[in-house]
Structure 1
Amino acid sequence: MRTEEVGWFSDGDQIGALWRTPDDSPGPYRVIVQGPGWLGLKDAGLYVRYHQALTDAGFAVLVFDYRGFGGSGGDRGLLSPARQLQDLRSAVTYLETRDDVVPDGIGVFGSGGTGGGNAVLLAAADPRVRAAVSQLPVADGADWLHRMRSEYEWLDFLASVRADRRERVATGKGRAVHPREEIMVPTKERRATKVKADVDGRVPEQVEFAPAVEEILAYRPVDAAAALTVPLLVIGIEGDATTPTDHAERVYAAARGPKELIMQRHTTHYAAYDRYWETVTPRIVAWFDRHLGPANVVICAPGGVERLEVPDAG
């Protein structure tokens, strides 16, 4: 797998990205776009083996840092899912500027919380995306934040958001908080895991409190899934304490196009990346291979999608 640093602009801010391609192919490529998961970065070691599997199958991968993170520009204190969706759409537009990309061969892969949710949002919003894989998605941001807390903690949390909003109106300034510690509530597994150790010290540790929370409260990939007709593979974990199992199930149930649900059992949110990688990853690659294959006639039916490459007459 070859890796090249590339970049473009999203709403005036520089985006830093990695362009990963097969060792032995000059293209043109079918391409998988990936925006990182919750508090993730483009160069996370966790993603490399997924990208290796995809490039081994002939795909290219474009993975980038959202604005405010890693090698991208923008306000470091702004954690904004809406802005992340804009960045994902700018990534697809960047692909349109390259002559080594198959125009109707673009898919999206997202993993981990808002990473999985953002993949659904992009696929629903952008007709240039032809297939999606959403791994461990957040379906409903308000429900996600609520279920991390007891009821009294939740009410206190909402009160603190309202207080910060009033402070911002009165003084022009508000609280800055650590997003992993004061917006999300880390599980014991999250505190102990080394899966994200290579990025944990490089993500923003102070973000604007009320603006971030208000966006997450309004974050509903499950609604976008209800309008989604492109092929969607959803991957969840039974008994997931970090991203609730029913979020994956709700996204899957809402989607209207060809879809498949993989549910991993007898594991945990972070352990599953290793335990079932060799089983799940080939399914991800096969999903993209099936639904991003060359075709000039596409037949959609309840049983799935058939793609036909019909030769020109004469």
Structure 2
Amino acid sequence: MNEINPGNFSEIAEFFLLGLSEDPDLQPVLFALFLSTYLVTVLGNLVIILVIVHDSHLHTPMYFFLSNLSFVDICFTTTTIPKMLMNIQLHSKSISYTGCLTQIWFALDFLGLENGILVAMAYDRFVAICHPLRYNVIMNPKLCWLLVLLSFLISVLNAMLHTLMALRLSFCTNLEIPHFFCELAHILKLSCSDILINNILVYVVTGLLGVVPLYGIIFSYTQIVSSVLKIPSADGKYKAFSICVSHLIVVSLFYGTAFGVYLSSTGTLSSRKSAVASVMYTVVTPMMNPFIYSLRNKDMIGALRRLISRTTSFP
């Protein structure tokens, strides 16, 4: 097959996103489904941010991290879904070479940032339950901002490293991506270059930025469970566990679906089925987060009611 010089952007005009299905009859259904999902995700997470910002009772480390998580979820879905909706509406499958690499960069960036914030939230719950008397001293605003900034810097460096490594690749004449957005794994499969270094980098970074943070979360919760079991009263145990339930559900959704897609991409699952599976962590999980944190949280429900009553009281 003929190779295309990666240094000449005019020759690599565009890639083609095949989406979740090529059936023309399914396109209106997919458009309506993803549009409604995107709107629910953006509006739901915006409400979470507004409620936290406007209610002084929620100006705590836990809700600080939650507002950042909601912001990242909005950005993450905005990186992928609008382009898919536009292509469906225009009956097009194309995405420019620059646009594809940009999408890879932002997707990796926000994925890494969400990973870091979930770890920070686990640490916050660990300190709150295992060291309650020192909670305000340990989880001070400076540390909270530092954890978010550290997550941001690590995710930016990771995204930049993978994107720069992708720039060195040359591609064959087949530029069709069996996905609804540009995912790094699919770009590597299309390349005619030697991708050994890229694959090693993917495995190493996945181990460092995926497995290690997950181990940190698991370690935090083993300590939390150990501390909660020492609480004598049943009400105390229930209250302590209830603080962690929402975070545990989000962590299970995020890591369970992300690792499921990662393992399936190295197994026998087809590329199209892998793309369908990736909808879980790229679309469904960001949409579910506001419901998980609001419906199970009395403080959030109370703050939302106060914000609504405050808004409706103005003439």
TM-score of the two chains, using structure 1 as the length reference: 0.29
Higher strand proportion: 1
Which is bigger in relative contact order (C-alpha 8 A, separation at least 6)? 2
State the TM-score, normalizing by the size of structure 2.
0.29
Greater share of residues in helix: 2
